[in-house]
Structure 1
Amino acid sequence: MKRIHILIAFSVLVFGVACTPENEVPQNPNIIYVLADDLGYGDIGAFNEQSKIKTPNIDKMAAEGIMFTDAHTSSSVCTPTRYGLLTGRYNWRTRLKEGVLTGKSKALIPNSRTTVASLLQAHGYYTAFFGKWHLGLDWALKNTDDNKGDGWDPADFDNIDFSKPVKNSPNTLGFDYAYGHPASLDMAPYVYVENEMVTQVPDSMSENTGKYSWWRKGPTSDDFVHDDVTPNFFRRSIQFINERSKEDSPFFLYLALPSPHTPILPTAEWQDKSGLNPYGDFVMMIDNYMGELEKAVKDAGIENNTLIIFTSDNGCAPAAKTDELEEKGHYPSSIFRGYKADIYEGGHRVPFVVKWPDKIKAGRVSDETICLTDFMATCAEIVGYSLSDNEGEDSFSLVPVFEDVKRNKPLREGTVHHSVNGCFAIRKGDWKLIMCPGSGGWSFPRPGNKAVIDSLPKYQLYNLKTDPGETENLQATTAPKVEELRSLLIKYINEGRSTPGIPQKNDSIDFEWKQIDFVNR
C-alpha cells in the first residue's frame, strides 16, 4: 500500500512538472523583415543626430531594441542585395556581376537553392512576401521563339502573356503567400502578381516624367496605382499580422518596400511635412507606417516573441535630389562618402534596427560589422538548423550579438562590398580596400570619366576608424595591408564562400577570378 502511494505521488509530480509552462519548449519567434528601398544611413534620426527628417517611430524601435551602426548591404544597388538577403550568399557568385535586373528578367535564384523562406517554411513557419521582388520572374510567352528585349523598352513586353501563371516565383522559393510587383516602381510592367498570377491583365500604358515622381513607360494594370503601392503593401502586411497572430504556428513576413525609391510619391497628408523636399516627406510617411505596423504587432499580443528588423537595400539615391537636401542641411549618408551605386560607405552602409523583447535588451547599440547576408544564418540558428556547406555561404548568425554573448573576435573575418559596375571592396576590422580608382558608381569620380580615373591609383585603402569619410587614400604607404586584404578577397572568391566550410563553386565566371585588379570595370 505504501509503495502504491509513493508511485501515485511520483506520477503526479512528474505529470505536474511536465505540464508547467516553464517546461514547455518555447515557440520560435515570429519574424518580420522590412526592407526599405534607397533609404540612406543618415535619414534616420537614431543614426544621425543632424538628420532633418523626423522618424520618431523607427527611432523608438531602435531605443526598444538594438541598432547596428556598421551594417552593410552586399551591394550598393537593389537586385544583388535582395539576392544576398534571401540566400545568405554574395550576388557576384551568380550570373549577376553588375547592374540590376528589369521587370522582364528571368529568375535569378534557382529552385534548388535554399532561401530564408524555404528554410523557415521547413521548420513550421507560414511564410509571406509583400512588396518589390526584383529578382526576376519567368513570364509566359505568346511566342516562345520571340523573346527579344531586356525590359527597358515598352515593346519588350508585347510577347508576354499576362493571363498565364509566372514560373520561378517567390512561391517556388519558399513563400506560402506572395503578393508584389516584379521590379522597381519605375520599371515596367506595372502589375501586381499574387501567387504566380497577375491580378489584372494590363490593358494600357502609363508613364510619368515628373521631377521626383517619374517612371518609365510600360504596360499598366487598372488596379496598379503608383501613389498607393507603398500604402497598399503596409495595409496588407498589417492585415496579415492580425490574421496570422491568431494561429498556433509562427510566421515570417518579408515586406520589401518600393520606397523611398523613385517615383517619390508621398501621399497628400505627408506632402510638405518635412520642410525639405518630397523625398523627406516620403521617408516620414514610411516612418509613420512603421509605427502602425508595430502597433498591430503589439495589439495582437505577440510583441514579446516577434523579431522585427528594419533596414534598407542600399544607400540613398541621387534621384532624391541629394543636392537639395544637402543645401538645407540634411545629409542622407551622414558623415559617409557617396550614395547609392557607389563602392564608398554611403552606397552600402545602412540603418539596421532589430527589436525582439524576449531576447534583446532595450537601448543597445552595436558597432559589430554585419551584412544583410547574415539573415540566413541568423534564422538557421533561431530554429536550430545547421546550414549545409552549400547554404548561406556568406552568412554569419547575429544571435550572439542579440544575446550579448561575450566574444574575443568579431563575427566576420571580412566583408565584401560590391558596386553597380562590379567594383569590389573588402573590409576587415578598421581597414577597407577598394579594388578600383573611383566610386565604381554614380558619384565623382565616375568610372566613365577616363581622364580622371586614369590619373588615380588603381587601389584605395582607408582606415574607417580614423577616416570614416574615406578622404585619405593610404594604399601607397601601407602596402602590407593592401596585400593582406587583396589576398583575403581572392580567397573568398576562389573558395566560393567567406564562411568556414568546404569550398564551393561559383555559379558562373565571366572574367579571370585571379586577376582581381578590376580597374576598368
Structure 2
Amino acid sequence: MEMTVAKVKWLTISICIFLSPLGNSLLALERQPNILVFLMDDMGYGDVHALNPNGSGFETPHLDNLLEKGVVFTNAHSSASVCAPTRYALLTGNHVYRGRNPGGTWGHFSGSQIVSGQQTLADVLSRAGYSTAFFGKSHLGSTFFKSDGTNANGFHDADLSQRFHDGPIDHGFEYSLTLPAGIQSEPYAFFKNDRLARWDNKQKSWQHFTDDGTARGFFKVTAKKSKKIAYGMDNWSTESVGPLLVHDAFAFIDRHVATRGKEKPFFLYYCSQAGHSPYAPPVSFNVKDPLCTNDLSVREAIPIAGTTVNKRTDMIREGDAALGLFIEKLTSLGLFHNTLIVFTSDNGAAVGPGSSWDQSLYHDAKDNSEYGGNRIEVGVENQGRVHRNAQGVAQDGSPLRGEKGFVYEGGHRVPLVMCWSQEIPGGRKIRDQIIGLHDLFRTLCGLAGVSVPADQANDSYDFSKVLRASGIEAQLVRDSLYIQSNRPWEQNTKKIFNTWAAYGVTVANNSTDVWKAVLEYNTKKIDGRSYAKCVELFHLSDDPSESQDLSGNSVRRAALEVQFQGMASGERTVQEE
C-alpha cells in the first residue's frame, strides 16, 4: 500500500510526540483518572496523626503518607455535622434541604432523600464512560416492596427476595454492596445490587435468595431492645464488615480490569463503617478471609483491636489500614498514578469511650452537659494511653470547639486529602480556601474533564484549578459556605429550629479573613422561623476556638443573615462560569 508524503510526515510527527516527554503528558491528559472516594464515618480532623501531631495518641501511617503525596485542605467541612445529610450533599452537590426532607436520617420504607430529577455524581460519571460502584453505608432512604408489589411497611412484610427501590443501583451505580443503615441500626445485613445477600464463606461469594421464605430462614429478628425489633442476617458480625467490604471492592477492581482494561476509568465510592459505634474493631483484618477476624497467625492478617488508645481509635486505625490496602492494590495493578484518591469524613469526631473535656466553658443544651477546652480520650483497654483533640486543632494549636452534631468547628471540620500523583502537585496544605464536601461533585468532574449538567449540583463549586496549581492561590473559589447542624445552639432547646453555620470570607493582604454566624432557621418553615436569625458570631481568623461571641456587631450579623437568606431562598448557590 502506498503512503502519501503528507501521511508520512504526520506519522513521523506523531511518533516523535509519542516518544517525547510532552507526548507522554498529552497522552496522560487524554486518559481520565480512576476515582476512589474513601469516606470515613465519624472521624475527626484531629484523628489524623499528621494533622494533630502533638495530641494524637496513635499513628495513621497510610493516611499520613497520602497526605505527604497529595493535597490537604485545612479548612474543609462536611456538609452537615451529622452523617446522612452529608452523604446526600456529597453525592448530589446540593444542600440537604433540596432533597425530600431537610432533616436526617431517612428511613428504609419512606423513599430516598434524592428526589426525582436529581442526578448523582455516579450518574454523571457513568454517562462519561466510568464504571461505577458503591461500597458501605448508604443511609439515604429507600422503598421495599411486598410480594404483591405494593410498598412494604417494614421488614416484617417486605419480600426480601426482591430488589429494593431508590438504592445506589437507581442512582447511577452499576454495582453496589451496601449497608442501608451502616452498622449502628437495622438491617444488620448486606445488600448486593440492592438485594438482600448472605456471605457464603465456603464459596467466598455473596448469595441472593430466590424467594422470601428462604430469605427469612437466615434474615430474622436478632434482638429486642426497648421493645424494638431488630432484623439481621444470621452470620452478621460487626467485626467482619470492613474486611468484607474491602474484599468485594477489590473484586470489583479486578473485574473492571479484566473486562474493560486499565485504560477505561472507574469510580469507586467506599463508605467505611470504621469510626461509628458500636465500636467493634476486629482483632485481625484479613481481606483474603474476611470472616477470620481473630487469627493473627496468618500472613495477611493486620492487627487492629488493642493497637491504639481505645475501641473507637482502633476503628480509626482500621480505616487507615483499609486505605493502605487500597493503595497497595492500585499500585500492584499499575493504577495508582492515574487514580484520583479522595479521603475524608462525613462529620466531626463522635464521642468515644473514656472521652471528656478538660474545661467547662460551654453548656450543651441537647445533652445537658458541660464541655470545652481540650477533648481527652483515655485508654480503656490500654491504660495510660491518651488521645487529645480528636475534633481537631487550629493552625495555632488551639482546640476546636465541639464534636459530631455541633454547629461549632469540631462538629464539621474534617480531613480532606486529595492525591492524583500524575496530575496534582503534591505535598501541599491549602489553608486559604474554604471548601465543603458538596464541592467534591464539580471538583472531581472538573479534574476528570466531565461536564456537569447546568441544572445539577446546585451548591457545588469546582476547586480543580486550585488543585492543579502548584503555587498559592489568592483568588477565592468560595466567599461563603453553609453547614447544617442537628443540635440547637447553646441557649435554645426548641427542636423546630435548624441551626446553621454561615461563613463569610474575604481576602485582605494575601490572607483570608473568615467570619462565622450561628443561625437559627427552619428550612421546613412550618411552625418555625422562616427568616435567619444570627444568635452567635465569631471571627475565626482571630478566634478559631470560637470562644468570643461578637454578635453585638450588628453590621456583620446582618450581612451574614441576609447572605444566608439569599442562599436559602434561591434555586442554586453556585455561580455560573
Q: TM-score range by the shorter chain?
A: 0.7 to 0.9
Which of the residues 251, 257, 266 maps onto 1:251? 266
Equivalent residues in 2 for 1:294-443 (5 A)? 294-323=327-356, 325-327=376-378, 328-334=386-392, 335-367=399-431, 368-404=433-469, 407-421=473-487, 422-429=498-505, 430-436=514-520
In the alignment, the residues of structure 1 paired with residue 444 and residue 318 of structure 2 have an alpha-carbon distance, to the nearest angstrom, of 29
Shift of the 347–491 alpha-carbon distance from structure 1 to 2, 3 Å rule, reads same
Partner of 1:506: none
Asked if 2 retains the 8 angstrom alpha-carbon contact of 1:436 and 1:460, the reply is no
Which of the residues 465, 469, 472 maps onto 2:541? 465
Paired residue total:
464
Is residue 2:28 matched to residue 1:47? no
- Partner of 1:199, secondary structure, is strand
TM-superposition CA deviations, 1:57-108 (whole Å, max 9, x none): 1000000111111110110111110000000001022232223124444211
Is residue 2:219 matched to residue 1:203? yes
In the alignment, the residues of structure 1 paired with residue 562 and residue 82 of structure 2 have an alpha-carbon distance, to the nearest angstrom, of 25
Q: Which amino acid aligns with 1:178?
A: S
Asked if 2 retains the 8 angstrom alpha-carbon contact of 1:359 and 1:402, the reply is no
Runs of at least 5 residues in structure 1 that lack an aligned partner in the other structure:
149-155, 438-456, 503-521
Asked if 2 retains the 8 angstrom alpha-carbon contact of 1:77 and 1:100, the reply is no
- Partner of 1:435, secondary structure, is strand
Is residue 2:288 matched to residue 1:237? no
Q: Which amino acid aligns with 1:416?
A: Y
Is residue 2:483 matched to residue 1:483? no
- Partner of 2:73, secondary structure, is strand
Which of the residues 176, 179, 186 maps onto 1:178? 176
The root-mean-square deviation of aligned C-alpha atoms, in Å, is: 2.5
Shift of the 217–186 alpha-carbon distance from structure 1 to 2, 3 Å rule, reads farther
Higher strand share: 2
Asked if 2 retains the 8 angstrom alpha-carbon contact of 1:245 and 1:302, the reply is no
Equivalent residues in 2 for 1:134-283 (5 A)? 134-142=139-147, 148=153, 156-200=154-198, 201=215, 202-207=218-223, 218-246=230-258, 247=261, 248-268=263-283, 269-274=303-308, 276-283=309-316
Partner of 1:34: 38
Q: Which amino acid aligns with 1:497?
A: R
Asked if 2 retains the 8 angstrom alpha-carbon contact of 1:322 and 1:332, the reply is no
CA-CA distance at 1:245 after TM superposition: 3.9
Partner of 1:451: none
Asked if 2 retains the 8 angstrom alpha-carbon contact of 1:30 and 1:306, the reply is yes
In the alignment, the residues of structure 1 paired with residue 248 and residue 152 of structure 2 have an alpha-carbon distance, to the nearest angstrom, of 34
Equivalent residues in 2 for 1:93-108 (5 A)? 93-108=98-113
- Partner of 1:318, secondary structure, is coil
TM-score normalised by length of structure 1:
0.84
In the alignment, the residues of structure 1 paired with residue 332 and residue 131 of structure 2 have an alpha-carbon distance, to the nearest angstrom, of 20
In the alignment, the residues of structure 2 paired with residue 306 and residue 414 of structure 1 have an alpha-carbon distance, to the nearest angstrom, of 30
In the alignment, the residues of structure 1 paired with residue 34 and residue 104 of structure 2 have an alpha-carbon distance, to the nearest angstrom, of 33
- Partner of 1:417, secondary structure, is strand
Partner of 1:11: 7
In the alignment, the residues of structure 1 paired with residue 13 and residue 353 of structure 2 have an alpha-carbon distance, to the nearest angstrom, of 59
TM-score normalised by length of structure 2:
0.76
In the alignment, the residues of structure 1 paired with residue 460 and residue 346 of structure 2 have an alpha-carbon distance, to the nearest angstrom, of 16
Asked if 2 retains the 8 angstrom alpha-carbon contact of 1:111 and 1:173, the reply is no
Shift of the 307–28 alpha-carbon distance from structure 1 to 2, 3 Å rule, reads same
* Range with greater deviation from structure 2 (90-99 or 288-297): 90-99
In the alignment, the residues of structure 2 paired with residue 186 and residue 288 of structure 1 have an alpha-carbon distance, to the nearest angstrom, of 21
In the alignment, the residues of structure 2 paired with residue 320 and residue 67 of structure 1 have an alpha-carbon distance, to the nearest angstrom, of 28
CA-CA distance at 1:218 after TM superposition: 1.2
Identity across matched positions, percent: 29
CA-CA distance at 1:288 after TM superposition: 1.4
In the alignment, the residues of structure 2 paired with residue 38 and residue 139 of structure 1 have an alpha-carbon distance, to the nearest angstrom, of 28
Asked if 2 retains the 8 angstrom alpha-carbon contact of 1:322 and 1:331, the reply is no
Q: Which amino acid aligns with 1:292?
A: L
Partner of 1:516: none
- Partner of 1:164, secondary structure, is coil
- Partner of 1:224, secondary structure, is coil
